[in-house]
């Protein structure tokens, strides 16, 4: 590291300690990575993937074998009845929106049981103010159950709310978003599903699975969730998919989402792949390994910044449910310095300097460090945060641990320079 980057002696010493403390957790990550990588390989082999799966289609895209086979492969990997994976989903929020509009109808009730959802979904729900075209605009009633004092699901309140409101959809956000609450493990998601289904088996349980794919050996659809969705420029795209998203779960619900994705009565039968199939196949195949590398980067960052005296969540030794690492940097100067340092260690746009700006969908100025091959890709090393208390930065990604470590060290060096 010292041969290529100007790292101070103080930071070099902290780096050695962080690496030493991280290694036992790297071994645990490798075990999960191996399991998930072999699970993906088995699905590819069983599906007889061949060069013909990568052939492009145009126009309506009728009979796109590569597109249809990849849907089936993804369903198998996620232990779901059916799946949709498309490059035409513009973002994770877009994918979640298609799924919600697919399964909800005017007059239905949606209950989020993990507190306030991620910022960009608020406009979709229309829960703070009536956004033009939101679910509220279409007569869907939204409510939520707050997390308990430890940031965990409040099962007593969940049970009470489900019984009182009789919602059609119970919504779970797995990742922490811009909050410091713990992300949800598969076992916690399973417990929520059992709590809800014990009241009514007809309630649809949907999970925002962004940042959580391949972190554990199971996915939400294997422990009781009826539907889940995520982004391909996060974990499941493997750093190769240039865009897109996926929806997976019960076949009848996936079909409803397909009708919303294109048009009622048409659904998944149309939608040309335009030559993107190869990238999507490669991305899914590579995803478990890249997710493992991102997890190592998160563990290392937690260890390093703990050595520097900062609070981190999760801590180095906590069980992880997603790839996100939050670091509480105490003031805006250190937060901005962290992002500038991380950007300077990126393979793309390292010469640029990130600045806080008024980003659409957010109430506070947001700063983002993302020197990525794919714009906005958070499976590549990136960090972002709104400039507000407690001035935490949320870091995620890393296509490989070695370069992620360099970027994190350059961020740490900048933070050390702030007195």
The 3-class SS string of 327-360 reads EECCCHHHHHHHHHHHHHCCCCCCCCCCCCECCC
Q: Which two tokens mark 194? A: 């059992």
What pLDDT is recorded for position 6? 86
Kindly tell me if the per-residue pLDDT of 244 is higher than 70. Answer: yes
| 251 pLDDT higher than 70 | yes
Asked if 181 and 115 touch (Cβ cutoff 8 Å), the reply is yes
Handedness of CA 132, 386, 410, 31 (dihedral sign): negative
User: In 3-state terms, what secondary structure has residue 393?
Assistant: strand
DSSP structural state of residue 205: E
The percentage of residues in the chain with a pLDDT greater than 90, rounded to a whole number, is 90
Alpha carbon distance 203, 174 (integer Å): 18
Bond into 314 cis (ω within 30): yes
**What would the CATH number be for the domain defined by 39-274?**
3.40.640.10
Instruction: Report the C-alpha gap between 346 and 178 in whole angstroms.
Output: 23
Kindly report, residue by residue over 97-114, the tens digit of the pLDDT.
Answer: 999 999 999 999 999 999
Partners of 328 in beta bridges? 392
**Quick one: pLDDT band at residue 119, thresholds 50, 70, 90?**
confident
Q: Is the pLDDT of residue 350 over 90?
A: yes
Rounded to an integer, what distance in angstroms lies between the CA atom of residue 289 and that of residue 336? 30
Q: What are the residues whose beta carbons fall under 8 Å from the beta carbon of 95, sequence distance 6 or more? A: 89, 229, 230, 231, 245, 246, 247
To the question of pTM greater than 0.85 for the whole model, the response is yes
Sign of the alpha-carbon torsion through 288, 293, 299, 305: negative
**Cβ atoms of 386 and 399 closer than 8 Å:** no
pLDDT at position 3 is 82
Token output for 63: 């009979």
**CA 221 remoteness from chain centre:** 15
pLDDT category at 359 given cuts 50, 70, 90 is confident
In this prediction, residue 33 has a pLDDT band, given cuts at 50, 70 and 90, of very high
pLDDT score at 127: 86
For residue 131, the model assigns a pLDDT of 79
Check residue 49 and give its pLDDT.
Answer: 97
Token pair for 102: 């697919």
Closest CA to 391 of 328, 324, 345: 328
Q: Could you tell me if 200 and 145 are in contact, meaning their C-beta atoms sit under 8 angstroms apart?
A: no
Q: How far apart are CA 2 and CA 37, in angstroms?
A: 33
Most confidently modeled of 116-120, 244-248, 363-367? 244-248
pLDDT at 363 over 80: no
Distance CA 96, CA 260 (A): 11
Q: Rounded to an integer, what distance in angstroms lies between the CA atom of residue 69 and that of residue 44? A: 10
> What confidence tens digit (pLDDT) does each residue in 387-400 have?
988 899 999 999 99
* Contacts of range 315-318, beta carbons closer than 8 Å, 24 or more positions apart: 316/21, 316/22, 316/25, 317/25, 318/182
Residue-wise pLDDT tens digits, 252-292: 999 999 999 999 999 999 999 999 999 999 999 999 999 99
Would you say 249 and 81 are in contact if contact means Cβ atoms under 8 Å apart? yes
Rg (the chain; Cα; Å): 21
pLDDT tens for each residue of 69-81: 999 999 999 999 9
The CA-atom distances, in angstroms, between 239 and each of 88, 133, 346 are 17, 32, 14
Reported as a single tens digit per residue, the pLDDT across 169-186 is: 999 999 987 789 999 999
Mean pLDDT along residues 351-370: 87
Q: Which of 408, 407, 176 is nearest to 301 (CA)?
A: 408
CA 197 to chain centre: 25
CA distance 118 to 141: 18
Tally the C-alpha atoms within 13 A of residue 103's C-alpha that lie toward its C-beta. Answer: 30
Give the residue extent of every domain in the chain: 9-35+285-416, 39-274
pLDDT confidence of residue 2: 79
Domain 9-35+285-416 of CATH type 3.90.1150.60:
yes
CA nearest to 409, candidates 12, 4, 9: 12
Q: What is the pLDDT of residue 361?
A: 65
- pLDDT tens digits for range 147-176: 999 999 999 999 999 999 999 999 999 998
Alpha helices in 47-118, H assignment, sequence order: 65-77, 92-103
What mean pLDDT is reported for the chain? 95
Going across the sheet that includes 325-328, the strands are 312-313, 325-328, 392-396, 382-386, 366-369
């Amino acid at each position: 590291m010292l041969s290529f980057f100007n790292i101070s002696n103080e930071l070099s010493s902290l780096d050695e300690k962080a690496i030493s403390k991280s290694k036992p957790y790297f071994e645990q990550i490798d075990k999960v990575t191996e399991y998930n990588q072999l699970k993906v390989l088995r699905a590819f082999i069983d599906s007889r993937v061949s060069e013909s799966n990568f052939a492009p289609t145009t126009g309506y895209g009728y009979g796109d074998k590569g597109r249809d086979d990849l849907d089936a492969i993804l369903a198998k990997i996620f232990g779901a009845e059916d799946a949709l994976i498309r490059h035409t989903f513009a973002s994770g929020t877009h994918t979640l929106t298609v799924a919600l509009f697919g399964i909800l109808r005017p007059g239905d009730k949606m209950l989020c049981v993990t507190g306030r959802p991620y910022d960009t979904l608020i406009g979709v729900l229309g829960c703070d103010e009536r956004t033009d075209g939101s679910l509220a605009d279409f007569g869907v009633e939204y409510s939520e159950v707050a997390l308990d004092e430890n940031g965990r699901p409040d099962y007593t309140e969940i049970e009470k709310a489900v019984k009182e409101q009789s919602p059609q959809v119970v919504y779970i956000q797995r990742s922490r978003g811009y909050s410091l609450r713990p992300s949800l493990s598969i076992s916690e998601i399973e417990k929520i599903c059992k709590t809800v289904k014990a009241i009514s088996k007809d309630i649809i349980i949907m999970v925002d699975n962004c940042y959580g794919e391949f972190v554990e050996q199971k996915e939400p659809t294997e422990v009781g969730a009826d539907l889940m969705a995520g982004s391909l420029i996060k974990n499941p795209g493997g750093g190769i998919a240039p865009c897109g998203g996926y929806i997976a779960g019960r076949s009848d619900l996936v079909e409803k989402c397909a009708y919303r994705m294109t048009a009622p009565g048409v659904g998944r039968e149309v939608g040309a792949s335009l030559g993107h199939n190869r990238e999507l196949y490669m991305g899914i195949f590579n995803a478990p390994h890249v997710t493992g590398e991102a997890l190592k980067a998160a563990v290392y960052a937690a260890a390093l910044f703990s050595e520097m005296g900062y609070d981190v969540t999760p801590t180095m030794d906590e069980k992880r449910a997603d790839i996100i690492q939050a670091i509480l940097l105490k003031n805006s100067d250190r937060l901005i310095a962290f992002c500038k340092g991380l950007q300077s260690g990126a393979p793309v746009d390292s010469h640029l300097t990130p600045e806080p700006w008024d980003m659409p969908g957010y109430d506070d100025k947001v700063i983002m460090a993302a020197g990525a091959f794919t714009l906005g890709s958070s499976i590549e090393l990136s960090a972002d945060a709104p400039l507000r208390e407690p001035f935490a930065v949320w870091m995620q990604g890393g296509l490989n641990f070695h370069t992620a470590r360099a970027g994190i060290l350059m961020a740490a060096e900048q933070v050390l320079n702030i007195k």
